[in-house]
Amino acid sequence: VFKQKPAYEMAMEAYKKTDEFKQDEKEKSGTKRKSSKDKDENAPKRTKSAYFFFLDDVRAPIMKELDTKKIGDVAKEAGARWQKLSSAEKKKYEDQAAAAKAAAGK
């Protein structure tokens, strides 16, 4: 296997000097990855989860408390508060999410 490597390297060097190689490299450099599937513009949006209904309620107060508009800081605090909520307190948001899901017909 290793005996073939020098021959391969010589062949590769010769190939790199060809116009075909230069053309291939030029074409590759301008391309970007395409998404694996095209999105349907008319597809309905996903319904909000219970956490996002909760986030809508607490986002503004958290931003005032922390005196920041950084999304990461607000999300971290909101996540901590969500974890501390009892299941009875979460039920309000879970009911909202269930109603939204039913309204969307899912």
In this prediction, residue 39 carries a pLDDT of 75
Cβ pair 94, 88 in contact under 8 A: no
The count of structural domains within the chain is 1
Neighbour-count burial for 11-30, b at 16+ CB within 10 Å, e otherwise: eeeeeeeeeeeeeeeeeeee
Identify the domain containing residue 77 by its residue range: 50-104
**Section 97-101 average pLDDT:** 94
* Residue 71 counted as domain residue: yes
* Structure confidence by residue, pLDDT tens digits, 31-88: 666 666 777 788 888 899 999 999 999 999 999 999 988 999 999 999 999 999 999 9
60-73 pLDDT tens trace? 999 999 998 899 99
- Is 69 within the bounds of a domain? yes
78 in a domain, yes or no?
yes
Is 25 domain-assigned? Answer: no
